[in-house]
Amino acid sequence: MDLTEYEAQLRALTVGDGGEAQLDGLTPRALKRRLGQAAKRLGLALKWARDNTADAVVFQVKEARQPGRRGRRRKAE
């Protein structure tokens, strides 16, 4: 899948900026998925707003989280 259009939209933003993407015939889920994949390629993360409009989704650009330790926490001794 070609994500260059979504990557270009995200490159214009910096960490902390907010953005809005038009659905253009896509479902909100599909658009969020494509934007999320493009953000991951650029080393970014997105935070989605709960109150999206009928024809767009609203998001904020964040820094990608560093992978942490997975699994159960160790018991303190």
Q: Does the pLDDT at position 69 exceed 80?
A: no
CA atoms within a 13 Å half-sphere pointing along the CA-CB vector of 17: 10
State pLDDT tens for residues 10-66: 999 999 999 999 999 999 999 999 999 999 999 999 999 998 788 999 999 999 887
Q: What is the pTM of this model?
A: 0.81
Q: State the Cα–Cα distance between residues 46 and 28, nearest whole angstrom.
A: 14
Q: Does the pLDDT at position 9 exceed 80?
A: yes
Cβ–Cβ under 8 Å, residues 34 and 1: yes
CA atoms within a 13 Å half-sphere pointing along the CA-CB vector of 29: 0
